[in-house]
């Protein structure tokens, strides 16, 4: 057969041989014993040897048609063979039963979207300059085209609920019922695949070629990345939208920071042509994730990989053809390997940038500093070798700063997590730390939780205007005073934690004496010895049930080896707001001594000190209750108050211990 239209037309000479079913069956049996030289080679993994995604899929279709026609095709069903040459020229051959009439009008109607552009071109246009986006990312958008995701709400709900009734064409037809533009057609297909097709881990490991045939995928609703890409491409073409499968390398499941890529490709995704420009999608990663510990797949929709901005897509996708990066300038494989990998959640949760920008970093004088910039206040946490230790993480209005001090020389794994608008912390960054010198003098308390220092979060929790805005407080004599304003109705609780005694669970609050004024709280702190301590701050709404909630902590540092402060006196619930203790501040009194007392107490009628005997306190002109008591013959001393002069019931407000003789 020869096809000619004019001097500019493509000339095709074709020899079409149609065998009888009996002879075809015999050939099929023979092909079981002898490999078909026209079939694609069995790949040992990934996407090795793939030159053109379209030709690869069409070869698989022809192989399936050739070997399984008798079993899979109904005798009266039209058979279609489609092929592309190296330039993208399309040839479609239909084999009809003798008594059937080709439905040309119907075919032309469905295919009119593929009849070509204004110049009559029917093959997909290769990416060019008009498709390229500037690199690095300009922070304008996560998408490669302006999108308002709210416009897809109705379509997304509809597409996610469509079920497979027969074949692929019918499925696409059902999906397009609510789609009225190419963008909406692509969106409907994307949503359906991401919500219905499960990643087949076994097929991926065994490199099962059958697993990425569209007919098999619809039956099992499982596939590997090849299958996701091939199915997406086929459905887009049925919908009349140009689409290509793009093979390449990826920083996906099992990726280690800084690793190099060579040999066979390990992933496949798609490029789709919308509004005169190519765009990138990855339905494999949009559908869910594989748990690294159980190797099980979980559906977890990820919007990030739909029409992703190419300057972000290149962080974890490196195509076989640099033109499919859609970047200007394109990145080299070495750059791809060395560049920092920001996980999709990094951008989903509003992160903008991170420093350092390489995944492998070396310590300087035993320390590494990581900073993140975000577009809104965000909560962060980190783990070094799986534990929340050996680091100081302070929150900023738009980001965070993290100083890490690896405890030993060697290689360490640093993970950074962000919370965003959800209640779940998600991994957003991962670094490999190379430590050549560990500073043993920088040993942080194990109870130093994150964040360290006041921030927008402490303000949100009702603590404002701190006396110490920085996260670290240095004291030469082992004492310090921290104060801050507290919103009305908020109660504050503090505790001191160190790795060495004598701070025990019983005395964690006894090294802190809390003073309360109308809208401000002061924490007087005395350290039991030199070292580093975590001063943890908790809050609770007075009128609400439940426990105190951790807000932040300070790191207290003291190098004075002579420091040896005792605990403060124990205070009780009746220690009222705006009360003040001037002396004695030590909770342990000397034996057989007369000890002076001076306090400011509000709203009390009488005050006294009770030991072996009782000593009244008198109110002076400055408003302080003063007096003294003897510690002879007693083990404990109490300060007591009478709030109502008409009553005889005294309340305990302070308790002191007396040293043994």
Give the catalytic positions in this structure: 225, 267, 282
- CB contact set of 110 (below 8 Å; sequence gap of 6+): 240
Q: Which residue has the tokens 């306190």?
A: 617
* The pair of three-digit structure tokens given for residue 579, joined into one six-digit string: 């009360």
For 239-262, b where at least 16 C-beta lie within 10 A, e where not — what string?
bbbbbbbbbbbbbbbebebeeebe
Check residue 37 and report its DSSP letter.
Answer: T
β-sheet bridge partners, residue 557? 474, 532
Residue 452's SS3 state is strand
On the 0-12 / 13-18 / 19+ scale of CB atoms within 10 A, 571 is buried
For tokens 């053109």, name the residue: 52
**Nearest Cα to Cα of residue 494 among 474, 516, 478:** 516
Q: Which residues lie below 8 Å from residue 172, measured CB to CB, with a gap of 6+?
A: 189, 235, 238, 239
CA distance 618 to 615: 10
Classified as helix, coil or strand, 291 is: coil
List Cβ neighbours of 334 (8 Å cut-off, separation of 6 or more): none
3-state secondary structure of 174: helix
Q: Pick left, alpha or beta for residue 48 (phi over 0 → left; psi -120 to 50 → alpha; otherwise beta).
A: beta
Helix (H) or strand (E) holding 535: strand 531-541
Show the 3-state SS of 626-644.
Answer: EEEEECCCCCEEEEEEECC
Q: How far apart are CA 63 and CA 40, in angstroms?
A: 8
Angle, helix 182-196 to helix 168-175, in steps of 10 degrees:
120
Cα–Cα dist 252/289, whole Å: 10
User: Sign of torsion, CA 492 498 499 501?
Assistant: negative
Token reading at 338: 């060395």
Q: Are 604 and 645 in contact (CB under 8 A)?
A: no
Chain centroid, CA 518 distance in Å: 41
Compute the distance between CA of residue 439 and CA of residue 441 in angstroms, rounded to an integer: 5
The kind and range of the H/E element at 279 are strand 277-281
CA gap 346, 352 in Å, rounded = 8
CA–CA distance, 549 with 538 (Å, rounded to integer): 5
328-356: b or e for each residue (b if 16 or more CB lie within 10 Å)?
A: eebbeeeebbebbbbbbbbbbbbbbbbee
């Amino acid at each position: 057969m020869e096809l000619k239209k004019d001097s500019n037309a493509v000339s095709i000479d074709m020899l079409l041989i149609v065998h009888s079913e009996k002879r075809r069956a015999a050939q099929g049996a023979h092909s079981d014993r002898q490999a078909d030289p026209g079939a694609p080679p069995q790949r040992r993994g990934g996407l090795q040897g793939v030159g053109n995604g379209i030709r690869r899929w069409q070869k698989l279709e022809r192989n399936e048609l050739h070997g399984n026609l008798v079993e899979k095709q109904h005798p009266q069903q039209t058979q279609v063979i489609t092929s592309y040459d190296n330039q993208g020229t399309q040839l479609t051959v239909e084999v009809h039963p003798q008594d059937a009439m080709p439905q040309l009008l119907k075919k032309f109607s469905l295919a009119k979207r593929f009849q070509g552009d204004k110049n009559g071109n029917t093959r997909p246009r290769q990416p060019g300059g008009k498709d390229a986006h500037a690199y690095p990312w300009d922070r304008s958008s996560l998408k490669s085209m302006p999108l308002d995701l709210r416009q897809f709400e109705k379509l997304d709900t509809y597409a996610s609920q469509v079920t497979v009734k027969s074949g692929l064409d019918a499925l696409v037809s059902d999906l397009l019922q609510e789609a009225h533009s190419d963008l909406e057609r692509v969106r409907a297909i994307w949503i359906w695949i991401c919500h219905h097709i499960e990643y087949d881990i076994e097929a991926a490991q065994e490199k099962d070629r059958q697993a990425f045939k569209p007919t098999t995928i619809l039956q099992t609703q499982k596939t590997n990345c090849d299958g996701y890409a091939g199915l997406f491409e086929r459905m887009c073409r049925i919908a009349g939208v140009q689409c290509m499968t793009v093979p390449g390398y990826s920083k996906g499941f099992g990726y280690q920071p800084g690793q190099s890529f060579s040999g066979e490709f390990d992933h496949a995704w798609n490029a789709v042509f919308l509004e005169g420009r190519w765009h990138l999608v990855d339905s494999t990663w949009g559908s869910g994730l594989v748990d690294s510990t159980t190797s099980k797949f979980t559906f977890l929709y990820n919007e990030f990989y739909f029409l992703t901005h190419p300057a972000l897509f290149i962080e974890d996708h490196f195509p076989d053809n640099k033109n499919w990066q859609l970047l200007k300038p394109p990145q080299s494989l070495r750059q791809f390997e060395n560049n920092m990998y920001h996980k999709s959640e990094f951008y989903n949760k509003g992160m903008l940038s991170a420093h350092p920008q390489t995944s492998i970093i070396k310590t300087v004088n035993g320390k590494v500093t990581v900073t993140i910039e975000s577009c809104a206040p965000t909560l962060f946490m980190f783990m070094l070798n799986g534990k929340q230790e050996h680091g100081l993480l302070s929150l900023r209005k738009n980001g965070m700063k993290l100083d890490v001090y690896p405890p030993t020389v060697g290689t360490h794994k640093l993970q950074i997590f962000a919370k965003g608008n959800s209640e779940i912390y998600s991994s957003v960054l991962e670094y490999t730390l190379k430590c050549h010198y560990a500073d043993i003098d920088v040993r942080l308390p194990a109870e130093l939780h994150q964040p360290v220092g006041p921030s927008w979060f402490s303000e949100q929790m009702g603590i404002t205007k701190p006396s110490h805005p920085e996260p670290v407080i240095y004291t030469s004599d082992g004492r310090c005073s921290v104060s801050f304003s507290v919103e009305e109705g908020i109660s504050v609780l503090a505790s001191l934690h160190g790795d060495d005694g004598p701070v025990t669970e019983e005395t964690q609050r006894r090294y802190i004496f809390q003073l309360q004024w109308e809208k401000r709280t002061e924490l007087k702190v005395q350290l039991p010895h030199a070292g580093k301590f975590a001063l943890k701050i908790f809050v609770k709404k007075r009128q609400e049930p439940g426990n105190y909630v951790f807000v932040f902590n300070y790191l207290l540092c003291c190098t004075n080896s002579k420091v040896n402060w005792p605990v403060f006196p124990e205070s009780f619930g009746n220690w009222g707001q705006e009360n003040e203790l001037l002396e004695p501040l030590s909770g342990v009194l000397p034996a057989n001594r007369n000890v002076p007392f001076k306090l400011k107490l509000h709203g009390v009628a009488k005050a006294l000190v009770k030991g072996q005997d009782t000593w009244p306190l008198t109110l002076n002109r400055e408003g302080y209750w003063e007096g003294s008591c003897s510690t002879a013959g007693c083990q404990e001393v109490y300060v007591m108050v009478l709030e109502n002069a008409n009553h005889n019931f005294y309340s305990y407000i302070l308790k002191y211990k007396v040293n043994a003789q």
